[in-house]
Structure 1
């Protein structure tokens, strides 16, 4: 079905070859698959590893700072916490100083799983960084951090 509008194939090629969003999504999916495969023996996905790591603070954090760190909205974070809570890795409790707030605790089991995942992460992360031929990992991280802090359209 056609509405009389036409997007030239050259535009499709331009987007394929230059779109930062597309390239970032492809890279993120590839990295996620690599880390998902590597972390499978400890029962975690890459997202769950990141979430457990984000909860590993001296004092249990509340939902808002964790959501900001992971660039998630509170609803998405709450949904991501559910399987970790069900599996006994995370405990969600009311904040004793503000009953409207929730504190996110890593359980002993959660700490054990995170501790077993860290060497896997370190090994794969080092291999990925070593494979970034011609790219400085710190510069790449800096550029990605800058992009992640951009919240307004240019």
Structure 2
């Protein structure tokens, strides 16, 4: 008997069941398709969809901490720090020590970052509207609330 014959195999039926029902697989596939669509739309601004989302998370009156942004974006701090570097190098984001606790860092958009974001938002909105039209009527809101239910657990 060879190694393949000795190893236990997963049935074809199980493979098809996972293919057809696995929420994680379907969410990953949808996320990749959405990411490609938004990456293409934001390419003229030299932004990825992730960078756009990160910049939007900084668009607030008071500069948030790295920890607060990481939590909001469901990223670990190390990944967020790496994602911030190209935006900081481009002069779109500033990272400054927290005046109340110098161990923390506060994040903010620069004037150039605000201008770029303002130019990119209409393209994001147009692309988002296109995606919403692909979904059955009323389902974009339901999809968002369903995804929120999963991500908040």
Render the CA deviation track for 1:61-87: whole Å, top value 9, x for unaligned.
Answer: 111111111000111101110111111
Structure 1 residue 85 corresponds to structure 2 residue 88: yes
Measured in 2, the distance between the counterparts of 1:134 and 1:53 equals 27
Instruction: Map 1:4-153; keep pairs closer than 5 Å.
Output: 4-134=7-137, 136-150=139-153
> How big is the shift at 1:133?
2.1
Given the two structures, how large is their TM-score scaled by the length of structure 1? 0.94
Aligned residues: 150
1:134 deviates by 4.8
How much has 1:138 moved relative to structure 2?
1.0
Q: 2:10 and 2:130 mapped to 1: Cα distance?
A: 41
Query: How much has 1:6 moved relative to structure 2?
Result: 1.1
Give the CA deviation at 1:4. Answer: 2.1
CA radius of gyration, larger in: 2
Task: Name the SS of the counterpart of 1:99 in structure 2.
Answer: coil
**Offset at residue 135 of structure 1 (A):** 5.0
- Detail structure 1 runs of 4+ shifted over 4 Å in the superposition: none
Instruction: Give the structure with the higher percent helix.
Output: 2
TM-score by length of 2: 0.95
RMSD value over aligned CA atoms?
1.0
1:35 partner SS: helix
- Structure 1 alignment gaps of length 5 or more: none
